């Protein structure tokens, strides 16, 4: 008799537990994992508007370079990488402690043919050359037109047409959140960053000397200081002498394309 009662209690407990589990399962929010690269709609998206405006508003004229006028933005992807966000936040917290909460953030551009890989995995300073102008680090700019010069590598042309001015091939760049830490401000190249600094800010001058920069550059010394926010695929539009801005992709014939889009 007692044995039967114990079995009944145990069976009741099991049933209750199962019901509770199913209630928990039903009431738990469904965690929808966002894709790593999430395409942003070009219609009414504030992210798309932000990217387009920031890119357009940061075009300047560069000496000995194509007179860029605008971009044809093909696709914008928002980068969702919670693990990397955590790493960058941890780094920011550490840098805040070491700089007495004087760690600024900057939203900066990085042009690279490897932008998609970087968007997926983050930056690795191990791949950077120690012989660059400001030593080993990850280089950024506040100007989209400057970042554009690195879309195929350092002032290289597109692989297909070997042209820096190619407006047929799709280019790539990133918009990143950079945690600067303690900034070393300089007007001249320096490959030796003193200990205690976490980034370099190269300040432009009006000096007519190739040693000095015409536009600002930003070098971050560690990949954990950077969170890529947007990955952008785009083409360039530029003014050719007295013509209207060239938009080759909207032209229909290849003959017209080759006439209007000169290969530098
Ligand atoms: Zn090309």
At residue 19, the pLDDT reads 52
Q: Are residues 20 and 121 in the same domain?
A: no
Q: Are residues 55 and 125 in the same domain?
A: yes
Q: 165 C-alpha to center of ligand 1: Å?
A: 8
In terms of C-beta density within 10 A (0-12 exposed, 13-18 middle, 19 or more buried), how is residue 83 classed?
exposed
Average pLDDT score over residue span 101-107: 89
* 79/1: higher pLDDT: 79
CB 125 within 8 A of CB 136: yes
Q: Are residues 26 and 41 in the same domain?
A: no
At residue 1, the pLDDT reads 56
Q: Are residues 123 and 48 in the same domain?
A: yes
At residue 44, the pLDDT reads 86
At residue 182, the pLDDT reads 93
CB 130 within 8 A of CB 218: no
Q: Are residues 163 and 191 in the same domain?
A: yes
CATH assignment of the domain containing 133: 3.90.228.10
Q: 194 C-alpha to center of ligand 1: Å?
A: 41
Q: Are residues 135 and 209 in the same domain?
A: yes
Q: Are residues 21 and 54 in the same domain?
A: no
Question: Which residues are within 8 A (CB) of 81 and not within 5 positions of it... i.e. 6 or more apart?
Answer: 36, 120, 122, 227, 228
Q: Are residues 14 and 43 in the same domain?
A: no
Residue 100 has pLDDT above 60, yes or no: yes
For 27, the domain range is 1-31
What is the number of domains present in the chain?
A: 2
Q: 171 C-alpha to center of ligand 1: Å?
A: 9
Q: 259 C-alpha to center of ligand 1: Å?
A: 14
Q: Is the pTM of this model over 0.85?
A: no
Residue 85, SS3 per DSSP: helix
Q: Are residues 27 and 154 in the same domain?
A: no
Q: 163 C-alpha to center of ligand 1: Å?
A: 6
Q: 233 C-alpha to center of ligand 1: Å?
A: 14
Q: 248 C-alpha to center of ligand 1: Å?
A: 11
Q: 142 C-alpha to center of ligand 1: Å?
A: 25
Given the DSSP bridges, would you call strands 68-79 and 226-239 parallel, antiparallel or unpaired?
Answer: antiparallel
At residue 39, the pLDDT reads 96
Q: Are residues 118 and 100 in the same domain?
A: yes
Residue 224: pLDDT band with limits 50, 70, 90? very high
Q: 148 C-alpha to center of ligand 1: Å?
A: 14
* 50/18: higher pLDDT: 50
Q: 40 C-alpha to center of ligand 1: Å?
A: 25
Q: Are residues 83 and 47 in the same domain?
A: yes
174-202 burial: b if 16+ Cβ within 10 Å, else e:
bbbbbbbbbbbebeeeeeebeeeebbbbb
At residue 30, the pLDDT reads 66
CB 226 within 8 A of CB 179: yes
Q: 246 C-alpha to center of ligand 1: Å?
A: 15
- DSSP conformation class of 45: -
Q: Are residues 27 and 72 in the same domain?
A: no
The pLDDT mean for the chain works out to 82
Q: 169 C-alpha to center of ligand 1: Å?
A: 4
Q: 114 C-alpha to center of ligand 1: Å?
A: 16
């Amino acid at each position: 008799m007692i044995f039967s009662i114990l079995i009944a209690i145990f069976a009741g407990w099991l049933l209750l537990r199962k019901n509770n589990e199913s209630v928990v399962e039903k009431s738990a929010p469904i965690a929808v994992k966002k894709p790593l690269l999430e395409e942003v709609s070009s219609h009414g998206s504030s992210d798309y508007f932000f990217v387009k405006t920031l890119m357009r508003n940061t075009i300047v004229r560069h000496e000995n370079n194509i007179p860029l006028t605008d971009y044809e933005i093909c696709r914008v992807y928002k980068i969702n990488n919670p693990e990397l966000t955590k790493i960058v936040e941890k780094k920011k917290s550490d840098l805040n402690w070491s700089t007495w909460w004087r760690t600024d953030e900057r939203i900066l551009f990085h042009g690279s043919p490897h932008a998609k890989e970087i968007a997926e995995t983050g930056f690795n300073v191990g791949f950077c050359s120690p012989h660059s102008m400001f030593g080993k680090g990850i280089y950024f700019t506040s100007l989209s037109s400057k970042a554009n010069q690195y879309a195929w590598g350092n002032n290289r042309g597109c692989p297909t047409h070997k042209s820096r001015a190619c407006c047929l091939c799709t280019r790539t760049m990133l918009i990143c959140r950079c945690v600067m830490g303690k900034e070393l401000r300089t007007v001249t190249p320096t490959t030796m960053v003193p200990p205690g600094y976490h980034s370099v800010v190269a300040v432009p001058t009006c000096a007519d000397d190739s040693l000095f920069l015409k536009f600002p550059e930003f070098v971050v010394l560690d990949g954990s200081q950077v969170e890529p926010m947007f990955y952008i695929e785009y083409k360039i539009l530029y003014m050719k002498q007295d013509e209207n801005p060239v938009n080759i992709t909207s032209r229909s014939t290849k003959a017209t394309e080759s006439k209007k889009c000169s290969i530098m």
